[in-house]
Chains A and B, each alone.
Chain A
């Protein structure tokens, strides 16, 4: 009966009008060609200006439009509706676990705070050469799969450990960046970086649930990076004990 119609169930909340959030149903003609979820939102917004969501590049590189699409986090701009429609229905909600500002817009303060906590910048106090610092292609390859993160928060907001401890568990996105700098042959603050992560919460709240890996729209693997950090932490600890012994 919904052959040519598409039902969109959209999470709505305007703090100035609504006491509680609610799901609003929109029925639209099924577009002739396959469109992205973001295009679908544009169509809805043409009729209802009050719908609010973030968007910028519309090609999956800026990380603005992370949201929960039929139960799974993803970027609206690179998710074709054909890949998510179930019985002609699509359900769109904000990223889980963060406070909602309005509709699909979440407050990402805590997410960014974790990012800043890991000192996401190259640290090397030796005097820089006049030209670039040299790095072998093999050392540079170690940054692949790490530096491409777009900070969309799809991973951290799909992580139950982050839901529980968003203030203390660094979360998969920021840990991926922590490892990006640990793995960079040009950075020489390895010891300090590891010490800052060695408490029971920052890294060790990761229990390998792997939601981060399954949702990353860039195909990155934060879980693997966290594993690498854990082995560096173990090795670091052992080194400290050995040196204490001597």
Chain B
């Protein structure tokens, strides 16, 4: 068996290469396949197994179906406020104003949205939504296909890619970016999981659409495959990550199992109670109660538990009460939730409350990009585009979610920026843009990590080190953070790094060797975890999802900015937030209450 690869490996050439077959990847590929460019999607799983499939409640967008007066500017206001004012307002403006077009396109592609009596798309209320810039009460802006919106969206996108004849390299795993001497990205090294074949996939444009990395935490709603592969590849190639301290903890993950219970449950009228049966969100967010921002609700739940009012024998969780909605509403609007709770919580929400805890859910940070999906690095405090490299979806930080994402905005992010990236790559390549070829030694550099793993004859066990990493992140970088604890966490991480760099791959076989995949995924998780830890330690304030015990207040004077993590120096610098939208006046920072 020859597992050590020199650069005699096969080169396969494309115009555009998309790493990841989830929502953003397949929305980008659809645009590119339609344009006639030679495009391939590289996905480590069959595309409909991607994590977009697990999204439940819906896609938030001002299509003015529930309320004919609804306005994308109101959606923009909510998103800016939800982000605790460090979302880039030019990007949020693009998201909210282009959103309706992107949602109607999905409907035309066949997405089976639920409907209102008048035949228009069904919309439900979600947290953080308002009318008239926060003055007109709760809005209902989340377009839904029952509580299976992500599934419906992902399958619709796959189906339309089949229609357009997109090339799929399914069950191929991208290992590392290939860069030429000008620091341009010229494709990736990847291998076929099915037979171990390694290839250099060469492209003029490489899009990282690899989703999030919730598996850095022990308790997460994320799929097992959410290991931040694209972001980690960019970090290893020396490219920065932005706002990595910002991780969303979803208020309602099923206690013990971690599976997501949609915010749509609370949108439909469900609410949280503590062990005394008290609807405690009335105390923390008197106006919108259970529909406050996710960060606010998650923190309130943790405080209830810490103060001894948690439910269950150990007082360590909260109940989500739905039974008052009645069997009809639950069966028609939340059928998937009923199924999940019966399977994983052993309760039937028609009769009993669901035990839930805040659970890691979403990575607001990622590879920094502009609204065209073009990734950039920082030189002398300025943005420099990286030729050949793009990113979209959860892997990217454009940044529309800032310090806290609103529910339903991730699916919108996927389709709006997946589409924008596809459109931009077309323009760029058709007007003669592109990158220089890589040399033999450039390709060898990118093969180094895979070769080292394949040559390993001793070292650490992947499963054990993964557990250690996840527990460290859970303990020291969770919902509440404190400097002294994070210092301990950082110390632990440096020990874990030694192990991650010296994993022992016992099974060297080629055919569907999932232990090779898992070892590389662990290395990717580490890159993401390290950037998270260092960024969290640096941001000395509390904002959005980043809550510091030792710095409980928001500090606009010093921290109304993005953080940029440099993977080479391991240092964090600041980057200005965009306050220059094109069509409306910027929304200035103000106190964020719900």
Q: Does B108 contact A (CB under 8 A)?
A: yes
Judge whether B116 and A16 touch: CB under 8 Å. Answer: no
Q: Does B117 contact A (CB under 8 A)?
A: yes
- Say which residue of A55, A130, A184 sits within 8 Å of B224 (CB atoms): A55
A143 CA to B151 CA, complexed, in Å: 14
Identify which of B304-312, B410-418, B503-511 touches chain A. B503-511
Judge whether B119 and A131 touch: CB under 8 Å. Answer: no
B193 shortest CB reach to chain A, Å: 9
Given contacts A16-B510, A49-B515, A143-B112, A59 and B107 within 8 Å (CB-CB): no
Which of A63, A128, A132, A151: most chain B CB closer than 10 A? A132
Q: Does A140 contact B (CB under 8 A)?
A: yes
B441 shortest CB reach to chain A, Å: 31
A65 CA to B148 CA, complexed, in Å: 19
Judge whether A148 and B148 touch: CB under 8 Å. Answer: yes
Judge whether B104 and A64 touch: CB under 8 Å. Answer: no
Judge whether B506 and A147 touch: CB under 8 Å. Answer: no
Judge whether B512 and A101 touch: CB under 8 Å. Answer: yes
Judge whether A148 and B109 touch: CB under 8 Å. Answer: no
Contact with A along B220-248 (1 / 0, CB 8 A): 00011100000000000000000000000
- Total A-B residue contacts, Cβ distance less than 8 Å: 145
Given contacts A53-B514, A102-B512, A121-B110, A150 and B48 within 8 Å (CB-CB): yes
Q: What residues on B are CB-neighbors of A58 within 8 Å?
A: 223-224, 259
Judge whether A59 and B509 touch: CB under 8 Å. Answer: no
- Say which residue of A17, A46, A57, A151 sits within 8 Å of B54 (CB atoms): A57
Q: Does A135 contact B (CB under 8 A)?
A: yes
**A132 — nearest CB in chain B belongs to which residue?**
B107
Interface size class of A (residues with CB under 8 A): 35 or more
Judge whether A57 and B223 touch: CB under 8 Å. Answer: yes
Judge whether B507 and A148 touch: CB under 8 Å. Answer: no
Q: What residues on B are CB-neighbors of A134 within 8 Å?
A: 118-120
Q: Does A60 contact B (CB under 8 A)?
A: yes
Q: What residues on B are CB-neighbors of A62 within 8 Å?
A: 45, 48-51, 53-54, 223
Q: What residues on B are CB-neighbors of A132 within 8 Å?
A: 63, 103-104, 107-108, 113, 120-121
A131 CA to B162 CA, complexed, in Å: 24
B64 shortest CB reach to chain A, Å: 9
Judge whether B159 and A52 touch: CB under 8 Å. Answer: no
Judge whether B115 and A140 touch: CB under 8 Å. Answer: yes
**A146 — nearest CB in chain B belongs to which residue?**
B112
Contact with A along B36-53 (1 / 0, CB 8 A): 000000000110111101
Instruction: List which B408-458 residues lie within 8 A (CB) of chain A.
Output: none
Q: What residues on B are CB-neighbors of A64 within 8 Å?
A: 45-46, 49
Q: Does A97 contact B (CB under 8 A)?
A: no
- Say which residue of A59, A105, A120, A130 sits within 8 Å of B162 (CB atoms): A120
**A59 — nearest CB in chain B belongs to which residue?**
B259
Judge whether B48 and A122 touch: CB under 8 Å. Answer: no
Judge whether A101 and B48 touch: CB under 8 Å. Answer: no
Interface size class of B (residues with CB under 8 A): 35 or more
Q: Does A15 contact B (CB under 8 A)?
A: yes
Q: Does A110 contact B (CB under 8 A)?
A: no
Instruction: List which A66-110 residues lie within 8 A (CB) of chain B.
Output: 78, 101-103, 105, 108
Q: What residues on B are CB-neighbors of A135 within 8 Å?
A: 115, 119
A173 CA to B225 CA, complexed, in Å: 25
Q: Does B315 contact A (CB under 8 A)?
A: no
Interface of chain A: mostly helix, strand, loop or mixed? loop
A112 CA to B104 CA, complexed, in Å: 28
Instruction: List which B123-140 residues lie within 8 A (CB) of chain A.
Output: none
Judge whether A131 and B116 touch: CB under 8 Å. Answer: no
Q: What residues on A are CB-neighbors of B121 within 8 Å?
A: 132
Q: Does B578 contact A (CB under 8 A)?
A: no
Q: Does B351 contact A (CB under 8 A)?
A: no
Q: What residues on B are CB-neighbors of A148 within 8 Å?
A: 148, 151
Q: Does A56 contact B (CB under 8 A)?
A: yes
A201 CA to B115 CA, complexed, in Å: 36
Q: What residues on B are CB-neighbors of A52 within 8 Å?
A: 511-514
Judge whether B112 and A147 touch: CB under 8 Å. Answer: yes
A177 shortest CB reach to chain B, Å: 9
Judge whether A56 and B112 touch: CB under 8 Å. Answer: no
A55 CA to B227 CA, complexed, in Å: 14
Judge whether A50 and B507 touch: CB under 8 Å. Answer: yes
B536 shortest CB reach to chain A, Å: 27
Q: Does A116 contact B (CB under 8 A)?
A: yes
- Say which residue of B108, B148, B151, B507 sits within 8 Å of A49 (CB atoms): B507
Q: Which residues of B contact A (CB under 8 A)?
A: 1, 45-46, 48-51, 53-54, 63, 103-104, 107-110, 112-121, 145, 148, 151-152, 155, 159-160, 162-163, 194, 223-225, 257, 259, 336, 339-340, 343-344, 462-463, 506-507, 509-515
Known: A64-B45, A121-B110, A137-B116. 8 other contacts (CB 8 A): A50-B506, A58-B223, A59-B340, A61-B53, A62-B223, A78-B343, A137-B117, A140-B115
